[in-house]
Structure 1
């Protein structure tokens, strides 16, 4: 149960990957249950965040129909989701000066929990942690987490100077809260990485959309 007032939190949907296991293209643009994966992610997170942006590289016009600001990585070479998180921290510092927290989520997770932001903040506060990440089924999902804007220069140093790429290697440097969600009736952090995953997502969408 959430026991704190939830701070203003900027959301970022990470869609900067190259989707190699899908044969290229944007995974969040795949359709399941009659709606794109990205539509489903936006619908889950928009009510939980004070604003949403999309981290993606390449031509931003392909996402124009979603009405989100598209922010590209500012570290070259597709260094992974940490670069997207850094871009979001920088954008928030420049454009939302009253916001101290950024919530990152994968753009290919269509069933995200409706209490994601609240529970992460609650755990972070209770455990006096500087970061918080989600977990389910005994597996951590470090790409789905809360990041303090004030950490952006430390993250930039890790990416640019240390060439650090793995999120869990970076989060290990800080007090970290991990929040677990149940995986029944479905794993809220299921992500559509392969063509086979999209077929499974169709089945799960029928469960998720049921009244």
Structure 2
């Protein structure tokens, strides 16, 4: 497989942060989105941002901004589809997605997703971490998605499907399990308290 393209999912409504773009919040002197770009860019062949509304607010990042093609707030799968359409136009085989509000995700995200898919004989792979209570905590916004399934996904979204794992389970998605060292690397910023915690974690890591 060719090196996947990267798509940062920044289309969330951020209701628990009072609205707006969570990715544009500042953490340690730079935006959450810049932290995500810095982690994902070295792992992919090219990079884009999925977001709706005026793309000019992301102009400082110098990346393509992909709007959802599905009407209404259709959730992360709509962002995946926008990314797959962009990748298809570039002749790419697959994309890897990451959430714009998750600044500490693993720096080996892409190779581990590719390996999990290869070992399972699947075209899709999702990230997960161990969970003491549930056994496994899945992080479906961090996944490997094949361009070959974009029309299938488009049909599912048009039919009203919104829950990521319902679609991925139907296609036998593989699971890439990532270790938890002190805190879940897929910890994301949903509330002002989360941003305070992220600031503390960033300080501890530097």
TM-score normalised by the shorter chain: which range applies? over 0.9
Distance (whole Å) between structure 2 residues aligned to residue 80 and residue 93 of structure 1:
21
Q: What corresponds to 1:119 in structure 2? A: 112
CA drift at 1:174: 1.0
- Structure 1: runs of 5 or more not aligned: 1-5
TM superposition score normalised by structure 2 = 0.95
Alignment of 1:1-211 (within 5 A): 7-94=2-89, 96-97=90-91, 99-137=92-130, 138-160=136-158, 162-208=159-205, 210=206
CA RMSD of aligned residues (A): 1.0
- Structure 2: runs of 5 or more not aligned: 131-135
Q: Secondary structure at the match of 1:172?
A: helix
- Which has the larger displacement, 49-58 or 133-142? 133-142
CA drift at 1:42: 0.3
Q: Deviations over 1:19-52 (max 9, x none)?
A: 1111001001111111211010000000000000
Distance (whole Å) between structure 2 residues aligned to residue 67 and residue 54 of structure 1:
10
Asked if the contact 1:14/1:55 (under 8 Å) is kept, the reply is yes
TM superposition score normalised by structure 1 = 0.93
Count of aligned pairs = 201
Q: Deviations over 1:141-186 (max 9, x none)?
A: 01110000010000000000x2000000000111211111122133
Distance (whole Å) between structure 2 residues aligned to residue 86 and residue 196 of structure 1:
32
Q: Secondary structure at the match of 2:170?
A: coil
Segments of 4+ moved more than 3 angstroms: none
Q: Deviations over 1:103-162 (max 9, x none)?
A: 0111111011111000110111111112100011320001110000010000000000x2
